[in-house]
Structure formats: structure tokens, C-alpha cells
């Protein structure tokens, strides 16, 4: 689909334009030992990382494709490109150091402007490489590390090796193994004890190449008593062929620390989005996942929190919007593994046309987690008679003193609601969009203002033409 074709489609596709960027290296199709060696060579990695990648490749090749969730039969893993190096510049510290054609992309997406106004630091990934990373100088002076994960591996090797692939090892699942073999790009973040990062850090992931796999890996360590909010955004052009995004997010939240990880994902509808996100939360610490999924052909994403010491807490807030041709299989997992831990899951899904949204979640209370508490709220909104929603809740309790609740609702937009709002002067589409905004408001209000406005705007665009 050309740039002109996308412009003709209007505002809804403003994130899905194609960039005229010629990469400096493109790997051959398929995932082979030779491709893994090429990735490692281009990154100048130490020998131990190449051995890690090759071991992960063996695990990936042995594990079967999952069959318990959405249909993945249209994903041809042998036809994908697994590494694209967009430019010789990597991890620049100023936008002027980035090639003009790539810089123009991020200016069009508003990233430099957001950095100036509301962010403590920004990382930008283009296809397989982080092309930009910068954090405010006052945070650097406090010992905050916010760099591309490749730089973290080389510059902070001991700290990196202590945590890398410890939260999500290659053996975890097939796509975690795939990421471990082919990972490229992502952020390495370390917040020292007691340091509170007041403004968010943001990473933005851009896919431009068709039939491409992006495999960023992010490692965040929040030391004792520290605080941070990390935001991830994603977009890709609209192609007629399928692409793959398989990220791995590893977060360690130490005693008394607070962290939040926010994802606003707006992939184009030819993207398979298969992600593993996990946080280890220690004593009296708090971790929050805020997960928004509006794009992709298929999403399988279940942010998880492992509460490992007394007093650890978590909250997982999730929004999924599925329209015709989309299956959003999202949810959350909480493992309560210590006394007096607690967790909450609030999941909101919206299905439009023939779209399908599924909630798939796990709450597990381990033996000995005395007084543990967990609650799940799962709400679905159907826009059309053809829309579909499913709920797959799993609750496993091995401790008699635990308190666990689960609540699920399914509702529809009805004619009476639309008629009432029309009587107040709204058009049909505006009325439907207002009902949806009210439905997601408990989660949208947790976003920083700029991102809440953008989420509401995306919802409005998705809702255009939904009624009548």
C-alpha cells in the first residue's frame, strides 16, 4: 500500500505510513545459525552472548507452536526477515546525529516534541536497532542508566549478566526462545536506590520493513526505594503481508520500590504481536502494568507479576480493542508467592464488527502465602451483533487463608443509550464513541494527560462508522 493510498484513507492511518529508508544490511530470510551469527557480528557482541543466542535457537526449534490460543497458521516464520540494520548510526545522543530520513519519521510521530515537554528520557528503535537514546543530565548525575540494551551489555556487563534472561529465560515459551535467539534493540534501565524519576521514560518502536520480525528486549531494574514510569509505543506501516513483533520485557522491582510499565500499542493489522512481559516484585514494592492494545492482526500478551516477598503488590490494567480481522487475546497473570501479598487485575475489552477479544488470565496463590489477596474484574463491550468476546480465567489456590475474587460482565451498546445521547445533540458515531470512552475511563485516567488524549483519539477513530 503506497503513501498516497494511506493518505486517502485518512486520519486513522496516520501512524501506518511507509518510510523511504534504505537499510545498510538485511539478513537472509528465515532463522538459521548463519543469521544468528550475522546479528551477533554486526553488534560486535562478546562470545558468551553468541553462545546464549545459539542455545536459545536450539530451544526455539524444539518447542512446538502454541495451539491453545489464537490461530497462528498464517504466520510463516521461514519467510520473515529477522534482522534489518537501518543505518550505521546506533544509539545517537542527539536527533541531529540520526540520518534525516529516519529523523523525519520520529518528528512526524511527535517523539522529539514529547521529549522536550513531558519526558525524562527517550529511546527510539527503527526496525532492528535503537537509533537514539538520551536521558536528562540531572538523572545521569544521580546514577540513572537509560541506554540501548546493547550498550548496557557492553558498558555495564556485570550488572547486565546478573539479571538478563533471569526473569524470562529462553526455556519459558517458544516465542521467548525466539526473542532470546534473535533479540535486537530495546532498553537497559537501572534506577539507583532511593532515586525517584518524576517524569516518564519512553521507548518508541517503529517497524518499516515488510515481512519482518522485530525482537526488542528490555531489562529494567528498579533498586530499593526507587521509582520509575516507563512508556512504550509501537507503530508499523500497513502492508498486505504479515510481520511479527516478539518482544520480551524483564523487570525487577526491589524492596520498597515503585514502578509502572505502560504500553500503548497501535500496530497495523498485518502484525502478529506475541509478547512476554514479566516483573519480579520484592518486599513492600509495587509494580503496575498499564496495557493498551488497539492494533495488530493477532495479539497474545499477558503481563505478569510474581510477588516474591511479604508486602509485595501489583495492579494490572488492560484495554483491548478488536475490530474485523483482529483477535486480541490479552489478559494478565499474578503469582502470589509470599504472605500478605496482593494484586488486582482490571481488564476492559471492546469488540467491533467481527472482531474478537479474549481475556486469558491466571491468579495463583502458592502454599504459605498467608493472607494473600487478589481480585479480577473482566468487562467486555460488544458494538455489533457479529462481535465476539471470550473469557478464560484460571484461579489456582494452594493457601486456605487467601482471599480471591473474580467478576466478569458482558454488555452491548443499545438503542436507548444512543437515542438518549442523540437527544442531547450528539451524532450517532459521537454517541457510540462517548459510551466507549466512559467504558474505558477507569484505565484511561491512569495515563499521563498527553497519552490519555491520544488513546481517546484512537478510540474515536476506531469507532467511526460503527452505528447506523
Residues 206 and 78 in one domain: yes
Whether 321 is covered by a domain: the verdict is: no
Q: How far apart are alpha carbons 413 and 435 in whole angstroms?
A: 8
Whether 407 is covered by a domain: the verdict is: no
**Given 301, 327, 360, which residue is the final one in a domain?**
301
Is pLDDT at 4 greater than 70 in this prediction?
no
Q: Retrieve residue 184's grid coordinates.
A: 535486537
| CA quadruple 219, 223, 227, 230: dihedral, nearest 10 | 0
pLDDT tens track for 357-408: 999 999 999 999 999 999 999 999 999 889 999 999 999 999 999 999 999 9
Whether 114 is covered by a domain: the verdict is: yes
**Given 267, 301, 335, which residue is the final one in a domain?**
301
| CA quadruple 200, 349, 396, 301: dihedral, nearest 10 | -50
Model pTM greater than 0.75? yes
Whether 87 is covered by a domain: the verdict is: yes
**pLDDT score recorded for residue 413:** 82
**pLDDT score recorded for residue 8:** 41
**Given 273, 301, 329, which residue is the final one in a domain?**
301
Q: How far apart are alpha carbons 112 and 196 in whole angstroms?
A: 23
For the ranges 33-47, 99-113, 118-132, the lowest mean pLDDT is seen at 99-113
Going by pLDDT thresholds of 50, 70 and 90, the confidence category of residue 20 is low
pLDDT tens track for 412-431: 887 788 888 888 888 887 88
**pLDDT score recorded for residue 106:** 62
Q: How far apart are alpha carbons 181 and 161 in whole angstroms?
A: 16
The DSSP bridge pattern shows strands 304-307 and 217-222 to be unpaired
Whether 403 is covered by a domain: the verdict is: no
Is pLDDT at 136 greater than 60 in this prediction?
yes
Place of cell 484512537: 458
**pLDDT score recorded for residue 387:** 93
Whether 386 is covered by a domain: the verdict is: no
Domain count, the chain: 2
**pLDDT score recorded for residue 309:** 98
Q: How far apart are alpha carbons 444 and 115 in whole angstroms?
A: 21
Give how far the C-alpha of residue 285 lies from the chain's centroid of Cα atoms, to the nearest Å.
22
Which of 385, 379, 377 shows the shortest CA–CA distance to 350?
379
Domain extent at residue 74? 3-301
3-state secondary structure of 419: helix
Residues 418 and 297 in one domain: no
Is pLDDT at 3 greater than 70 in this prediction?
no
Say if residues 403 and 430 touch (Cβ distance below 8 Å).
Answer: no
Whether 239 is covered by a domain: the verdict is: yes
What is the number of alpha carbons within 13 Å of residue 79 lying toward its C-beta? 8
Amino acid at each position: 500500500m503506497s503513501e498516497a493510498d494511506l493518505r486517502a484513507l485518512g486520519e486513522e492511518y496516520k501512524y501506518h505510513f511507509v518510510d523511504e529508508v534504505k537499510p545498510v544490511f538485511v539478513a537472509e530470510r528465515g532463522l538459521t545459525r548463519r543469521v544468528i551469527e550475522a546479528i551477533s557480528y554486526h553488534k560486535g557482541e562478546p562470545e558468551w552472548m553468541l553462545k546464549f543466542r545459539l542455545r536459545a535457537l536450539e530451544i526455539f526449534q524444539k518447542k512446538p507452536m502454541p495451539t491453545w490460543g489464537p490461530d497462528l497458521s498464517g504466520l510463516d516464520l521461514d519467510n520473515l526477515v529477522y534482522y534489518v540494520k537501518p543505518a550505521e548510526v546506533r544509539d545517537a545522543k542527539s536527533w541531529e546525529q540520526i540520518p534525516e530520513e529516519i529523523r523525519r519519521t520520529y518528528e512526524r510521530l511527535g517523539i522529539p516534541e514529547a521529549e522536550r515537554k513531558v519526558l525524562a528520557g527517550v529511546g527510539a528503535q527503527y526496525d532492528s536497532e535503537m537509533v537514539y537514546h538520551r536521558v536528562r543530565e540531572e538523572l545521569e548525575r544521580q546514577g540513572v542508566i537509560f541506554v540501548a540494551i546493547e550498550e548496557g551489555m557492553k558498558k555495564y556487563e556485570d550488572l547486565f549478566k546478573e539479571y538478563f534472561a533471569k526473569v524470562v529465560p529462553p526455556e519459558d515459551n517458544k516465542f521467548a526462545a525466539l526473542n532470546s535467539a534473535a533479540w535486537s534493540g530495546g532498553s537497559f534501565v537501572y534506577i539507583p536506590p532511593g532515586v525517584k524519576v518524576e517524569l516518564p521514560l519512553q521507548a518508541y518502536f517503529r517497524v518499516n520493513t515488510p515481512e519482518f520480525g522485530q525482537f526488542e528486549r528490555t531489562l529494567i531494574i528498579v533498586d530499593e526505594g526507587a521509582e520509575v514510569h516507563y512508556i512504550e509505543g509501537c507503530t508499523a506501516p500497513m502492508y498486505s503481508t504479515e510481520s511479527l513483533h516478539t518482544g520480551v520485557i524483564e523487570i525487577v522491582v526491589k524492596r520498597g520500590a515503585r514502578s509502572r510499565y505502560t504500553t500503548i500499542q497501535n500496530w497495523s493489522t498485518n502484525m502478529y504481536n506475541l509478547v512476554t512481559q514479566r516483573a519480579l516484585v520484592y518486599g513492600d514494592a509495587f509494580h503496575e502494568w498499564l496495557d493498551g492494545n488497539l492494533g495488530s492482526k493477532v495479539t497474545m500478551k499477558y503481563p505478569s507479576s510474581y510477588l516474591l516477598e511479604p508486602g509485595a503488590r501489583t495492579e494490572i490494567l488492560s484495554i483491548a480493542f478488536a475490530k474485523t480481522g483482529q483477535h486480541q487475546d490479552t489478559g494478565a497473570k499474578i503469582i502470589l508467592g509470599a504472605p500478605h501479598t496482593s494484586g488486582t487485575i482490571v481488564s476492559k475489552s471492546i469488540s467491533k464488527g467481527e472482531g474478537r477479544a479474549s481475556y486469558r488470565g491466571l491468579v495463583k496463590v502458592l502454599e504459605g502465602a498467608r493472607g494473600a489477596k487478589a481480585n479480577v474484574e473482566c468487562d467486555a463491550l460488544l458494538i455489533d451483533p457479529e462481535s465476539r468476546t471470550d473469557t478464560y480465567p484460571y484461579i489456582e489456590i494452594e493457601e486456605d487463608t487467601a482471599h480471591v475474587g473474580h467478576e466478569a460482565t458482558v454488555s452491548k451498546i443499545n438503542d436507548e443509550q444512543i437515542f438518549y445521547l442523540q437527544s442531547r445533540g450528539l451524532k450517532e458515531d459521537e454517541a457510540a464513541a462517548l459510551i466507549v470512552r466512559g467504558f474505558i475511563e477507569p484505565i484511561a485516567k491512569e495515563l499521563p494527560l498527553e497519552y490519555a488524549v491520544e488513546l481517546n483519539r484512537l478510540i474515536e477513530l476506531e469507532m467511526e462508522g460503527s452505528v447506523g
